[in-house]
Amino acid sequence: MRNSSVQRVLVTGGAGFLGSHLCDRLIAAGHDVICVDNFYTGSKDNIRHLIGNPRFELLRHDVTFPLYVEVDRIFNLACPASPIHYQRDPVQTTKTSVHGAINMLGLAKRLHARILQASTSEVYGDPEVHPQTEDYWGRVNPIGTRACYDEGKRCAETLFFDYHRQHRLEIKVMRIFNTYGPRMQPDDGRVVSNFIVQALKGEPITIYGDGNQTRSFCYVDDLIEGMLRLMETGPDVPGPINIGNPGEFTMRELAEMVVRQTGSKSSIVYMPLPSDDPRQRRPDISLAREKLGWAPTVALEEGMARTIDYFRTVVAA
């Protein structure tokens, strides 16, 4: 007989950075997990330790095509999330966000399953409001080089809320701010992985712009905890809810921290700022505190030390 407390959970993008950590947490909690990934940016190395676990199933599949499985919960994390990856095939990026959302929402509707959308702080664009609250509509260039991701995620949010209103589907929309930790790809072009890999190799650390633009950085364990808490809220909490660390650091401060913690001799060099790159990004997490009882617990210094330890093994290999 099936244990009623055990959920059958679908994680799209489950072999990615965030998805693999989510699969770990779900398996540890005793749930059955179907991990779906087309391995465009995900890696089997991230979930290799789960293969053979009787509660884990790996399925190679692209969410732009319909999927027919039987589950109780759906976490929709499928989409390239770093500019270097999502700009490589921008049309496919938009299709992954939009067609992927349509297919997963259709599945959730058929199954009467609760579904969570991994949205992004990029829906705020280059914000005029700081810090960003969930009721801010954003400032996004709809025809820029980042629009395939920004507008794709914005459209996915639209679809989720229309399914919620039109079909009474139980949805959760989570806006993820910069997240870092083990299993980030060394070549994904994100600032944390870039800085660490450059420092460990003794190469110059590249800062785009004058180094005064700011970001907030949430350690992956904190992020996954927020995601799980949001999924288990009642139907009166559809979101969107910001999940991120409100601690704000300049790119220069981050680079100096990486140099210090790695013991690197790398110099810092400055390059032109890419098109539409936001100058400020920091979440207001008041809603997450109120609705989820959630706040990050891992300080940047501690999380960076763990992340650097992971990258030492990757770069050495």
The CA distance from 70 to 278, in Å, is 40
| Cα radius of gyration rounded to whole Å, the chain | 19
Render 235-275 in DSSP notation, one character per residue. Answer: TT----EEES---EEEHHHHHHHHHHHHT----EEEEPPPT
Token output for 73: 């919960």
Find all residues with CB under 8 Å of 104, minimum gap 6, and list them: 12, 63, 67, 74, 76, 115
Token output for 262: 């790695």
Token output for 108: 């959730």
Question: Is residue 248 within 8 Å of residue 214, measured between CB atoms?
Answer: yes
180 is catalytic: no
The CA distance from 153 to 123, in Å, is 7
Tally of CB atoms within 10 A around 22? 27
Tally of CB atoms within 10 A around 287? 19
Catalytic residue among 40, 124, 149, 219: 149
Which letter does DSSP use for residue 130 in this model? S
Catalogue the active-site residues: 149
